[in-house]
Amino acid sequence: MRIHDLFQRKKRVFSFELFPPKRDGSLDSLFQTVEELKRLGPDFISITYGAGGSTRDLTYEIAVRLKSAGVLPLVHFTCVGHSRAEVRGLLGKLRDAGLENLLALRGDPPKGQATYSPPPDGFRFASELVRFIRAEGFDFSLGVAGYPEGHPEAPNREVDLEHLKEKIEAGGEFVVTQLFFDNQDYFRFLERLRARGVEAPVQPGIWILTDAAQLERLGSLSGGKIPKDFRAAVEAVQADKEAVTRLGVEYAVRQCADLLENGAPGIHLYTMNRSEPATRVYQGLQTLGLAP
């Protein structure tokens, strides 16, 4: 099943994101989470790719196991640290394994590097990667990343929107967004994309806050801003982790409900490899009649 086709056939596409455990870690606990998330009937589960391609083989292994477990995988695929020949070989490996869906990304610089410098035969931007995939004849359903608050490295939002348009014109078929907490950022982002003629579905990515310490980390990692009222509510109970999780789940349910009621084509939940908070959010949407 191609994810692009899912967006054409369904009013709302629901998905979750997982990340590979540490190299010396077991996949058993990860696939216990997968089994728990499967009960919710997700349309797909994405699996991330480590900075500088550091989890390349593990990401592949997890994607193959997801497929075998009856889950549609969306494989994150980055070009950081890879030559064109390496990218071509990796794409062939994914195709030969029957994996049909990729999220094409530039990716984060390798650990210890603040900025990214492409190898002589590599790619500087995700749009170049998307164009290469299409030029080489690979028929993956390709998703690309979008940033409602602007990419941290972009000089401004207008430039960032043009970059996203380039990725779609190069062959991207759908957009999954970076996390955000203010829905107006998503709606303004979507309006500006549509004004540029970009009609691809834009699935909002939603974070479920479960730890007060995440407030600062999220701002530094994604550039996302935390609404003052939500921050104040979390900080008031920060010593009580269950109370923080409850606030995070309630906020995510309200945020997702508003997005779906106003036309978002689904929700992508960042799970941090934990099924319980994501399940609570999904069940909250079911109670509201917004999820199957």
CA angle 79, 82, 83 (to 5 degrees): 115
Secondary element (H or E) of residue 267:
strand 266-270
- In degrees and rounded to multiples of 5, residue 142 shows phi and psi of -105, 125
Cα–Cα dist 41/209, whole Å: 23
Q: State both tokens at 64.
A: 């193959």
Let me know: does 250 contact 283? Beta carbons within 8 Å.
no
Q: How many CA atoms lie within 13 A of 108 on its CB side?
A: 14
Q: Work out the number of other CB atoms within 10 angstroms of the CB of residue 127.
A: 22
Let me know: does 104 contact 130? Beta carbons within 8 Å.
yes
User: Which residues is 270 bridged to in the sheet?
Assistant: 17, 207
Task: Kindly give the pairing relationship between strand 73-78 and strand 101-105.
Answer: parallel
Query: E-strand spans in 95-140?
Result: 101-105
Is 35 labeled as catalytic in the residue annotation? no
Query: E-strand spans in 125-221?
Result: 141-146, 174-179, 202-207
Q: State both tokens at 269.
A: 């939940």
User: Which residues is 78 bridged to in the sheet?
Assistant: 105
- The catalytic position among 17, 100, 128, 173 is 17
Sequence-distant (6+) residues with CB within 8 A of 9 are none
Active-site residue set: 17
